[in-house]
Structure 1
């Protein structure tokens, strides 16, 4: 019989995977993986500020990640540097500032490894309620901006011609990413959040024929990775967060096996970006 803490970890991880799947699809489609890394790295600065001002950790991480999104938008409008360069500056700067602030706060005991790599086995019932409540909010808002965000992924000019306001949809998507990162930080950690967003979506891309189907498959792949990773961690006594990511990587590697190997008709090759 599995212990209660293990069941809580399973429930929380599956909930996070279901939310991360659709968001990860847009990260893959729009080639925003580096932006996801930047948002994740800024989480440590959010942790430091939360401890300094004694506010809720999740709220602090969300606020900092949202401010990073706004800063990126403003810097992009000023021009002068490429988006990759700006993301690199913001990513490493926020991570470094967070680490320096943590070092100065000698009066606070901080489990830095826990924040960096997560501790899904320490999830409480309140955390689960927060994950599912926040996840429902994220999926509901994503459903509202799905059409303009998808249209702008295909063609920004086409989305503007249809009056869909793609810039507003993209900014809303970035805020949803900030919220998911804030929720996921305790489970898989700052350094592994982006992996859970990207790898299941990349796996789903091999099997999906429509954007909606890819979002569903990505959620299922993420849930399978969570379950496999947790059971593997239990069996081999390995860190739970990294083991979940390894399980996701194994699923992705399995998706690369040609369909003909299983006696299935091969899918047409080409870019499946909607």
Structure 2
């Protein structure tokens, strides 16, 4: 793997957001940690080197040390160590061919089952059988996955989330043996990067970071400027649904996202959750 020069924290933030962010003085080790986080990127090409079991277990332990709603601990990690299982999962996430080449794939799951079992064991009714049960478990899984990514990248690994495990959540659940009230939240491909990941540009902070109250002043203009900046530096290598929309000379982030969500995605996920015993009221 050829290393790219590591940007300074301020340079990484400028590259990410297009705005100057002057980080305050801080100890060098803290600045280095923040620099790694600011310059991270999703990794879809991996070296064939396997992830050592002891490292994987350590990273899972660190991830599950992350915050959890009310100490309910409603998340689980399924590590697909079997090459056959990884291949079967790759077949279920259409359009994600790189998943099959990942040395390790994890699936982060929301788990409301344990809480319900506690109520059964203590013979106390479960009084929160509504939409918040899903949100709490999904948030717990998301927090754990974010912590795993941060820990894994600090250890020299690369990661890329796989939301497509929800494309056919029932089949993925069957593959993993998930019972009622447990659902796949997201997969995560993990391995040693074959090349340094690119810093993906983000919307400027004045669009997404608010003070005291949410605002949308100048949002359309800010998105348009972001489209231009990103298209110049990181153009898309293909345009979505050309047969429907044609080819655009000014194709940018906003148009890509509009085209993506012009087609239904995971419309059956609510029905899947209901079939798994959740009430979504």
Specify the structure having the higher radius of gyration (Cα): 2
Question: Higher relative contact order at CA 8 Å, sep ≥6: structure 1 or structure 2?
Answer: 1
Give the strand-richer structure, 1 or 2. Answer: 2
TM-score > 0.5, shorter chain as reference: no
TM-score, structure 1 normalization: 0.28
Give the helix-richer structure, 1 or 2. Answer: 1
TM-score, structure 2 normalization: 0.27
